[in-house]
Structure 1
């Protein structure tokens, strides 16, 4: 549930999808270390729940973890309305999930704008094709949690990219 007593904050989370996953344990440890050094705020691991997402969200919260629900590009934003009060965050996918390096779908910003208008205290995350060229659209639409894979991980200076993403979002909060 959105915490209405606290102001929204910006969180930047590089996507592990772009890490070298040939040795998952080593990749995760190295990736988290590298991204923490670059200024990342969060590390998100997604699970897919197609059956009864409301029950799963409640169980996750009961376990003391944050629960969120995601929207693929073809899923109408109205699909999350029955569960939005039971989650901490709504993720709007701005690419088709599955692989990194895809082009950002700017038309997904309408979903972000709807959610921000409807739920002003809700954490809204965007994931897919988000980087320096697309961050302003995300921030202006109302996203405050940013997942950026290729733009951060493949940058010569990941810290500078994370800083640029953060500055854009903070300016809009």
Structure 2
């Protein structure tokens, strides 16, 4: 119910917990999300919703599998199209975790957008951390957690060689 939604949104704002909308399709959906204090537009289904989300200051999040597959499995707007239009801020792994790294490299390799490799890597590191108010991680910088991944590419796939968590090698 609407009163419950408003109460939950207020509780999250009071605790600095970022809220995400899900599958917004229209300006009206985005406007409603914005009024609730939503910070992240998760999987906008249309260009219209992604553009409206950005205009309202929301981070636009799309699924990394959408990039790897070459489009949405349900016929919604393609993440690569949003990237080419400068409307992609975050990539997440909703059902295929290995897609995060592959998707970041594919975004960087795609000549239809202007993402450099560092900018594409930020889609899966700094940008999601910042959107979630996790300012102690997401980039290599003094005072940050030092969560790192060393990977290489072979063909179209990325392979993780080593992982460090808070500066300690765990893989």
Taking structure 1 as the reference length, what is the TM-score of the superposition?
0.40
Structure with the greater alpha carbon radius of gyration: 2
Taking structure 2 as the reference length, what is the TM-score of the superposition?
0.41
Bigger strand share:
2
